[in-house]
C-alpha cells in the first residue's frame, strides 16, 4: 500500500515542503515548493509560511493537501502524514557552561551541538573573563536553554556551585517568553542539592554526568534531555509552532539533528564513516559520523555572503588569491568580497566572479574543517595508553579521534557547492578544501534534503534509506589520493589499471603533482590497481600501492596526486600559476581528461 507523506524543513529564511509517495519497495518525490519563513514580524506565525509552501505545492500537483481554505494541514484521502524539521527563529539557541574549558565545557559543547543547538557562548571558570564580564554577557544572551556541566563524580563541588551561583546572579531572560529558562544540569551529582535548596530563576532538569570520569564521556543523556526540552518547552513558546506540532505525526526535530540522523542511517547501512559539509551565507556546518558516533560543528562567521569579509580576515588575501588566475588583481578580489557582504543575494554573473566565489568557498570550508577537528580531539584531562602500532592523527599537536584518511564517504551541500555549474567543479572544491585521502566516495545533496530524510527515518527507516539513495544524494564518483608522501613534480610514481564491471577499461602511467579524471558512470563499479612507490602511502604503507573496488558517478574516478597536504609553490605568483594549471580542465566544462 502506498502512502503520501509531506515533509517540511522550516528554515531560518525559507520553508521547504516536499511530498513523497512511499511504497513497500519504492519511493517517489511527487513535488516540492518553497515559501519565505514567517516566524518573525510582521507575521509572527511559522504556520503561515508552511501553509504558503504547501499551497504552492497543491497548485503544482493539482492535489488538495489542505482544508478550510488552506488554513489546516491534516491527514486525508490525499495525505497520510506530516513531518517537520526546523531551524527558524535562529534555531535552538543555547548557552553552555562548564568548569574547565578543555574538559567539561568542551564535552557539554559537543553534547549541545550534537543535539542540534546553535551555541550563543561557551563559558568556563578558566575562560579568561572576570566575574562581572560573565554576568554581563549572560544577561545579554537570552538563550532558549542552558546546559551546565562540571566536576567528575565525587569531584569538585564548591567550584561547580560557584558556577551555578554565577548563573543565578546573572538571572538571564527567556528569548521567546516570560517562562523560566530550562537549565539541564549534567555535572557532578553531589552539586544537585545546591539547586534543590536555593531559589533560582531556572526550570532545572537533572541528567547523568556527561563526564563521570576523566577518561569517560557520556553525552547521550544530555542530548536526549535537550531534545525533549526543545520539543515540549521551547517549541511550544515559539510563534505558531504549537499548531504545527499538533499536526505532525512524529516529533519536530532541529534541522541539524535531522541531518545527523540521516548521516547516521547512511553510515550504519553502508558500514562506513561519513562526513558532510553545508556552506551557507553566514555559517558553515560540518557533520561527521565516525564509528557510529555523530559529531557536528557550526562555524559562525564562515559563510559566503553575510560572513564573506570574516572569511577574508580569517584566512588572509593570499590564501584566496592562490586559487585565482594571475589576471585577477588583489583589489578586484577584495571589492568582490566586500560587495558580496553588502549584497548577499547577488549571484556571480561572470566567469571571474564565479572563480572568486569558489576560491572563497574553498577557504571557508578549509577553516570550517579545522574547527571541526578541533572539537573531535581525544578526551583531554587524562593520559591514554598509546598503541605502538597505530599512528594517531594529530591536529595542532593534539590527538584527534579521526582524520580525512578515515572518512569513506564525503557529501557536499550548500549553494556554492550544490549550484556549481558542473559536477566536476563541485567535486574539486570539496577535494581542495577537505583533502580526502586514501579512497573516498563523493556525493552531492543538491537540494539539502538530508533534514527531510532524517526526520522520516524516525518512523520509516527503509523508506528514508530509499529516499537517501535514489533521490537525495547524487553520486559524483570517487577520489583516490595518497595519505602521505611526496615525489618530484612529474615523477612517474606508478601505473594504474582499471577494469569496470560494465566494460570500462583503462591503463596508464601516473605522475606526481597531477590530477586525473577518468570516466566511470553512476552504477558502474571498477577494480582499480595502482602500483606501489617507495615515496607514497595510499593507506597500507609505502610500496603497497592501491588495490580495491571503486564506484562511479557523474564525474567518475579522480586520482589526486598533488600530495597531502597540497604541495604548493612558495611564491604566491607561482602558486596561482600552479592552481590554474590544476583547475583549467574544470573551467573547460569538465571533459574527461588526463593532465
Read off the pLDDT band of 386 (50, 70, 90).
very low
Read off the pLDDT band of 69 (50, 70, 90).
low
Strands 72-73 and 66-67, bridge-based pairing: antiparallel
Read off the pLDDT band of 300 (50, 70, 90).
confident
Per DSSP, which regions of 414-487 are E strands? 438-445, 473-481
User: pTM of the full predicted structure?
Assistant: 0.90
Range with lowest mean pLDDT among 32-36, 384-388, 455-459, 469-473? 384-388
Question: What percent of the chain has pLDDT above 90?
Answer: 76
In terms of Cα–Cα distance, which of 527, 286, 224 is closest to 414? Answer: 286
- Tell whether the model's pLDDT for residue 484 goes beyond 80: yes
Q: What is the pLDDT of residues 531-568, one digit of tens each?
A: 999 999 999 999 999 999 999 999 999 999 999 999 99
- Asked if the domains 3-89 and 91-237 are classified in one and the same CATH topology, the answer is no
pLDDT at 586: 53
pLDDT at 589: 40
- Tell whether the model's pLDDT for residue 150 goes beyond 90: yes
**Residue 495, φ and ψ in degrees, nearest 5:** -130, 135
Read off the pLDDT band of 393 (50, 70, 90).
low
- Tell whether the model's pLDDT for residue 104 goes beyond 60: yes
How many angstroms separate the CA atoms of 208 and 153, rounded? 10
pLDDT at 389: 35
pLDDT at 75: 67
44 φ/ψ sector (left φ>0, alpha ψ -120 to 50, else beta): left
pLDDT at 176: 81
How many angstroms separate the CA atoms of 561 and 535, rounded? 12
Give the C-alpha distances (Å, rounded to integers) separating 414 from 61, 279, 410, 507. 27, 5, 14, 36
Read off the pLDDT band of 171 (50, 70, 90).
very high
Residue-averaged pLDDT of the chain:
91
Q: What is the mean pLDDT of residues 406-433?
A: 95
Query: The domain 91-237 is classified under which CATH number: 3.40.50.300, 3.40.50.280, 2.40.50.140, 1.10.1040.10?
Result: 3.40.50.280
**How distant is the alpha carbon of residue 465 from its chain centre?**
19
How many angstroms separate the CA atoms of 299 and 319, rounded? 18
pLDDT at 384: 44
Read off the pLDDT band of 588 (50, 70, 90).
low
pLDDT at 68: 67
Q: What is the pLDDT of residues 433-467, one digit of tens each?
A: 999 999 999 999 988 999 999 999 999 999 999 99
Q: What is the pLDDT of residues 329-344, one digit of tens each?
A: 999 999 999 999 999 8
Q: Domain residues of the chain, as ranges?
A: 3-89, 91-237, 274-486+512-525+552-589
Read off the pLDDT band of 71 (50, 70, 90).
low
User: And the C-alpha cell for 412?
Assistant: 557536499
Residues contacting residue 360 through CB under 8 Å, at least 6 positions apart: 304, 308, 311, 312, 320, 337, 340, 416
Read off the pLDDT band of 590 (50, 70, 90).
very low
Q: Are 72 and 64 in contact (CB under 8 A)?
A: no
Burial 226-238 (b: 16+ CB within 10 A, else e): bbbbbbebbbeeb
Q: What is the mean pLDDT of residues 569-578?
A: 94
In CATH, the number for domain 3-89 is 3.30.420.40
Read off the pLDDT band of 595 (50, 70, 90).
very low
Range with lowest mean pLDDT among 10-14, 284-288, 406-410, 513-517? 10-14
- Tell whether the model's pLDDT for residue 369 goes beyond 80: yes
- Tell whether the model's pLDDT for residue 394 goes beyond 70: no
Q: What is the mean pLDDT of residues 199-220?
A: 94
Q: Are 64 and 57 in contact (CB under 8 A)?
A: no
Cis ω on the peptide bond leading into residue 565 (within 30° of 0)? Answer: yes
- Tell whether the model's pLDDT for residue 187 goes beyond 50: yes
How many angstroms separate the CA atoms of 278 and 365, rounded? 9
Count the alpha carbons within 13 Å of 496 in the hemisphere toward its beta carbon.
Answer: 25
- Tell whether the model's pLDDT for residue 230 goes beyond 70: yes
- Tell whether the model's pLDDT for residue 392 goes beyond 70: no
pLDDT at 592: 41
pLDDT at 591: 41
Amino acid at each position: 500500500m502506498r502512502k503520501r507523506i509531506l515533509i517540511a524543513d522550516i528554515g531560518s529564511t525559507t520553508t521547504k515542503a516536499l511530498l513523497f509517495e512511499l511504497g513497500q519497495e519504492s519511493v517517489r518525490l511527487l513535488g516540492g515548493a518553497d515559501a519565505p519563513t514567517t516566524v518573525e514580524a510582521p507575521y509572527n506565525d511559522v504556520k503561515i509560511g508552511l501553509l504558503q509552501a504547501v499551497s504552492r505545492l497543491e497548485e503544482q500537483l493539482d492535489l488538495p493537501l489542505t482544508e478550510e481554505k488552506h488554513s489546516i494541514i491534516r491527514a486525508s484521502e490525499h495525505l497520510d502524514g506530516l513531518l517537520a524539521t526546523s531551524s527558524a527563529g535562529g534555531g535552538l539557541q543555547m548557552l553552555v557552561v562548564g568548569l574547565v574549558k578543555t574538559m567539561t565545557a568542551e564535552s557539554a559543547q559537543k553534547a549541545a551541538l550534537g543535539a542540534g543547538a546553535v551555541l550563543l557562548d561557551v563559558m568556563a571558570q578558566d575562560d579568561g573573563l572576570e566575574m562581572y564580564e560573565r554576568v554581563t554577557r549572560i544577561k545579554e544572551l537570552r538563550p532558549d536553554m542552558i546546559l551546565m556541566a562540571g566536576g567528575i563524580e565525587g569531584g569538585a563541588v564548591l567550584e561547580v556551585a560557584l558556577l551555578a551561583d554565577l548563573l543565578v546572579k546573572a538571572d538571564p531572560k527567556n528569548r521567546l517568553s516570560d517562562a523560566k529558562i530550562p537549565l539541564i544540569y549534567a555535572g557532578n551529582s553531589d552539586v544537585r542539592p545546591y539547586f534543590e535548596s536555593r531559589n533560582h530563576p531556572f526550570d532545572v532538569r537533572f541528567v547523568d554526568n556527561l563526564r563521570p570520569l576523566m577518561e569517560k564521556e557520556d553525552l547521550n543523556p544530555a542530548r536526549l534531555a535537550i531534545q525533549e526540552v526543545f520539543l515540549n518547552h521551547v517549541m511550544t513558546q515559539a510563534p505558531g509552532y504549537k499548531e504545527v506540532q499538533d499536526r505532525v505525526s512524529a516529533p519536530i526535530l532541529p534541522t541539524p539533528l535531522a541531518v545527523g540522523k540521516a548521516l547516521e542511517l547512511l553510515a550504519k547501512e553502508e558500514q562506513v564513516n561519513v562526513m558532510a559539509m553545508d556552506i551557507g551565507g553566514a555559517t558553515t556546518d560540518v557533520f561527521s559520523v565516525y564509528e557510529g558516533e555523530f559529531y557536528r560543528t557550526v562555524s559562525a562567521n564562515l559563510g559566503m555572503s553575510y560572513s564573506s569579509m570574516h572569511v577574508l580576515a580569517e584566512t588572509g588575501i593570499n590564501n584566496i588569491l592562490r586559487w585565482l588566475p594571475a589576471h585577477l588583481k588583489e583589489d578586484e578580489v577584495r571589492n568582490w568580497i566586500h560587495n558580496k557582504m553588502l549584497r548577499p543575494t547577488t549571484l556571480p554573473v561572470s566567469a571571474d566572479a564565479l572563480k572568486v566565489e569558489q576560491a572563497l568557498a574553498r577557504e571557508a570550508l578549509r577553516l570550517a574543517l579545522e574547527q571541526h577537528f578541533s572539537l573531535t580531539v581525544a578526551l583531554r584531562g587524562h593520559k591514554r595508553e598509546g598503541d605502538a602500532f597505530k599512528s594517531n592523527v594529530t591536529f595542532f599537536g593534539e590527538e584527534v579521534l579521526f582524520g580525512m584518511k578515515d572518512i569513506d564517504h564525503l557529501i557536499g551541500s550548500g549553494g556554492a557547492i550544490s549550484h556549481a555549474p558542473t559536477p566536476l567543479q563541485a567535486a574539486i572544491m570539496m577535494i581542495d578544501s577537505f583533502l580526502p585521502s586514501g579512497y573516498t566516495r563523493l556525493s552531492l545533496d543538491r537540494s539539502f534534503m538530508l533534514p527531510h530524510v532524517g526526520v522520516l527515518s524516525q518512523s520509516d527507516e527503509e523508506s528514508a534509506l530509499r529516499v537517501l539513495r535514489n533521490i537525495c544524494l547524487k553520486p559524483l564518483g570517487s577520489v583516490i589520493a595518497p595519505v602521505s608522501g611526496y615525489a618530484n613534480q612529474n615523477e612517474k610514481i606508478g601505473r594504474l589499471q582499471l577494469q569496470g564491471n560494465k566494460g570500462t577499461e583503462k591503463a596508464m602511467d601516473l605522475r606526481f603533482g597531477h590530477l586525473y579524471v577518468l570516466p566511470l558512470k553512476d552504477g558502474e563499479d571498477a577494480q582499480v590497481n595502482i602500483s606501489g612507490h617507495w615515496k607514497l602511502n595510499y593507506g597500507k604503507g609505502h610500496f603497497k600501492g592501491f588495490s580495491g573496488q571503486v564506484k562511479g558517478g557523474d564525474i567518475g574516478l579522480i586520482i589526486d596526486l598533488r600530495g597531502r597536504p597540497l604541495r604548493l609553490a612558495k611564491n604566491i605568483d607561482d602558486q596561482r600559476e600552479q592552481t590554474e594549471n590544476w583547475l583549467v580542465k574544470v573551467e573547460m566544462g569538465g571533459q574527461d581528461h588526463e593532465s
